[in-house]
Amino acid sequence: METFRVKFKQAIPNRVLIADDDPVMRHLVTTTVKQQDCEVVVVNVGREAYRILQSDSQFRAAILDMTMPFLEGLDLIRYMRSEKRLMRIPIMMITAEQDIKLMASSFSAGATAFLPKPFTPEQLQSAIRMLIGNRKWTKRAA
């Protein structure tokens, strides 16, 4: 008797990890991600994001602030890119740094996208849509 092996494609998780110590930025990013019908897991320090990532890899994307207490965004990227179960997760860095070298460092560490502050709502929406691969249009673009 012939046997068939069916391999199911793993569903893409619908959760986005957001780590930022600035409450204004957290609220803006959270609001925009939710508009893309994604759930959010929000933390305000890098160390907490690290703790979550140690046991949970079911994220569609991660949005990290570059400068956070205890553990910075760049350290988190390096950790995520060194763990097989986290490697596939696209990462966007948000920073108020104007230094082009930091952008280069982020990409070389494994960031997928880079959003410098200040940003406009359109820039934030575009970056998040690109990051999570969601083509859903926003109210204004519809």
Chain residues binding other proteins by CB under 8 A are 21-25, 27-28, 31-32, 34-35, 67, 95-97, 117-122, 124-125, 138-140
For other proteins, give the closer residue by CB, 22 or 48: 22
Residues 6 or more apart whose Cβ sits within 8 Å of residue 105: 74
CB of 28 to other proteins, least distance (A): 7
| SS3 state at 61 | strand
Contact of 62 with 89, CB cutoff 8 Å: yes
For other proteins, give the closer residue by CB, 86 or 92: 92
| SS3 state at 64 | strand
Spatial CA neighbour of 73 closest among 51, 98, 92? 92
CB of 59 to other proteins, least distance (A): 22
For other proteins, give the closer residue by CB, 101 or 140: 140
